[in-house]
Structure 1
Amino acid sequence: MRKVMTDAELKLWNELRAHRLMGLGFRRQFPIAGYIVDFACPEKKLVVEVDGSQHAEGDAVAGDEARSSRLGKNGWTVLRFWNDDIIRDIDNVCQHIAIVASVAGTSV
């Protein structure tokens, strides 16, 4: 668990906190299934992960896939965004989260 957020995490948190996105309650550094996720909306069972370039290298890719798979098996929808996408295009990142949140946690 980290206390200091990256620039991308801080930028996204400023959009998610205090029910700012669609009135949804997001928590940061939230424990789920033995993991600490970057951001979670328990109401919608939605996880948002913010990934730096180290997530594109070696074992990190497999680790992220295993983590997302485990969370998915527990009913959570996992979204991953690159730091750069958040820094450069926060509006589209938030729009994507809102779209997924609108259907997350609903029966098909």
Structure 2
Amino acid sequence: MTPPEIALWLALRGNEEGLRFRKQHAAGPYVLDFYCAPARLAIEVDGEAHNRGDRPDRDVTRDAWLVEQDIRVPHYPAREMLANLNDVVRQITSVALQRRTSIES
């Protein structure tokens, strides 16, 4: 894991809402950076490598497959983890709580 991913992982593990996240979670042929199963929410941390070569096309293909599985996939730039980690965590937990509630209903 990269330093931004480690920072996010530590923050997600300690979230006050009790949401459980998995890191490096297998989903079909893909490995997700982070996943919250009850919310069907994948979190992707995009570093510079996501802009190179065929990676953008692979990301689009993966995200389309995940959407077909009813998994939402927000992307966050790696630099955002370092600059605004608390805001990112608040946003992620808010989305996860909303999705979990709507799935449970």
Secondary structure of 2:12's counterpart equals helix
Q: Does structure 2 retain, via aligned residues, the 8 Å contact 1:21–1:98? A: no
Structure 1 residue runs of 4 or more that deviate by more than 3 Å after TM superposition: none
Identity of aligned residues (%): 31
- The amino acid across from 1:47 in the alignment is A
State the structure with bigger RCO (CA 8 A, min sep 6), 1 or 2.
Answer: 2
Q: Which amino acid aligns with 1:77?
A: R
1:91 and 1:47 map into 2 onto residues whose CA distance is 18
TM-score by length of 2: 0.89
Give the aligned length: 103
Give the match for residue 37 of structure 1: 32
Match of 1:82 in 2: 77
Larger helix share, 1 or 2: 2
Cα RMSD for the two superposed structures: 1.7
Segments of 5+ residues of structure 1 without an aligned counterpart are none
Cα distance between partner residues in 2 of 1:95 and 1:63: 28
Alignment-derived partner of residue 11 in structure 1: 7
Partner of 1:69: 64
Distance in 1 (alpha carbons) for counterparts of 2:94 and 2:22 = 19
Which blocks of at least 5 consecutive residues in structure 2 are unaligned?
Answer: none
Distance 1:77 1:46 in 2: 5
Q: Could you list the per-position Cα deviations for residues 46-103 of structure 1 after superposition, in whole angstroms to 9, with x for gaps in the alignment?
A: 1011111121234211111111110110011111111100011101111210221122
- Tell me if the contact between 1:15 and 1:21 (Cα under 8 Å) persists in the aligned partners: no
Per the alignment, residue 24 of structure 1 pairs with 19
